[in-house]
């Protein structure tokens, strides 16, 4: 049950952080402080999919035990070694995505004939909206048919990894991560191990 209460609280916390961070973000834009080398991304210089604006927006500003957050206080990715090394959550998100999501949303979040490309959706969706949709589901009715996404609120295989999925999809949306399986990765943080155990309930 823990994963549920966690999922419910998390967006609130995120929203609070967002309120503070957005005020600071304006200054940051003006001042452009030197990026913290500890959290700076080193992306693949040859990749052509990069969206400079989103990459800037999703740049990590803080790290706590292997978990990165961006200027909005939302979880984000961290990529180094010319795009070869990924933070644990982006890597884990890749794995979970290709188990739980790809049968509808397609490989590498590219979409399918019956579900949208999440690499595009995540250009718009906030962290709160994202968590809300995976927990509560979604229904789109149009003249050509009905698209329905199930509610995963009860599904530990999804909800326990909501942040991982979000981080991975953000990396896909900004083009920071091309259509590849993450090869090298940062070690699995202790806090991730602990959270996973608590959430899955043994």
Contact present, 181 and 84 (Cβ < 8 Å): no
Nearer to other proteins (CB atom), residue 53 or residue 181: 181
Q: How far apart are CA 181 and CA 162, in angstroms?
A: 19
Out of 13, 20, 129, 137, point to the residue binding other proteins (CB under 8 A).
137
Is residue 117 a contact point for other proteins (CB under 8 A)?
yes
197 contributes a contact to other proteins by CB under 8 A: no
> Min. distance of Cβ 74 from other proteins in angstroms?
24
Q: Count of CB atoms within 10 A of residue 101's CB?
A: 21
C-alpha–C-alpha distance, residues 191 and 89, integer Å? 11
Q: Binding of other proteins at residue 83 (CB under 8 A)?
A: yes
Alpha helices by DSSP H, listed for 106-147, are: 118-121, 127-136
Residues in the interface with other proteins (CB under 8 A) total: 48
Kindly state whether residue 146 participates in binding other proteins, applying the rule CB under 8 A: yes
Is residue 112 within the footprint of other proteins (CB under 8 A)?
Answer: yes
5 touches other proteins by CB under 8 A = no
**148-175 core/surface letters (b: 16 or more CB in 10 A; e: else):** ebeebbeebebbbbbbbbbbbbbbbbbb
* Minimum separation from the CB atom of position 142 to other proteins (A): 9
* Per-residue binding letters, 154-173, with other proteins (x by CB under 8 A): xxxxx---------------
108 binds other proteins (CB under 8 A): yes
Going by DSSP bridges, is the β-strand pair 85-86/184-185 parallel, antiparallel, or unpaired? Answer: parallel
Name the DSSP letter for residue 108: G
SS3 198: helix
> Is 4 a binder of other proteins (CB under 8 A)?
no
Tokens at 174, concatenated? 């900004």
Regarding 132 and contact with other proteins (CB under 8 A), the answer is no
Task: Work out how close the CB of 73 gets to other proteins at its nearest, in angstroms, rounded to a whole number.
Answer: 29
**Does 152 engage in binding with other proteins (CB under 8 A)?**
yes
Which residues make Cβ contacts (< 8 Å) with residue 68, sequence separation at least 6?
Answer: 39, 60, 62, 75, 76, 77, 78, 87, 89, 167
User: What does the binding site for other proteins look like in residue numbers (CB under 8 A)?
Assistant: 44, 46-49, 83-84, 94-96, 98-100, 102-104, 106-108, 110-114, 117, 137, 139, 141, 144-150, 152, 154-158, 178-181, 183, 200-201
């Amino acid at each position: 049950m823990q994963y549920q209460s966690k999922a419910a609280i998390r967006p609130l916390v995120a929203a609070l952080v967002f309120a503070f961070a957005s005020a600071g973000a304006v200054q940051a834009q003006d001042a452009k402080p030197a990026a913290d080398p500890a959290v700076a991304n080193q992306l693949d210089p040859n990749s052509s999919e990069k969206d400079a604006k989103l990459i800037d927006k999703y740049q990590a500003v803080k790290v706590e035990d292997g978990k990165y957050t961006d200027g909005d206080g939302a979880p984000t990715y961290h990529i180094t070694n010319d795009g070869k090394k990924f933070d644990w959550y982006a890597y884990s998100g890749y794995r979970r995505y290709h188990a739980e999501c790809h049968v509808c949303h397609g490989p590498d979040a590219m979409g399918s004939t019956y579900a949208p490309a999440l690499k595009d959706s995540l250009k718009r969706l906030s962290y709160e909206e994202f968590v809300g949709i995976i927990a509560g589901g979604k229904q789109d009715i149009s003249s050509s048919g009905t698209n329905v996404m199930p509610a995963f609120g009860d599904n530990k295989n999804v909800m326990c990894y909501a942040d991982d999925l979000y981080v991975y999809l953000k990396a896909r949306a900004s083009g920071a991560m091309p259509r590849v399986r993450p090869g090298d990765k940062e070690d699995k943080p202790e806090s991730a191990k602990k959270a996973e155990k608590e959430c899955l309930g043994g």
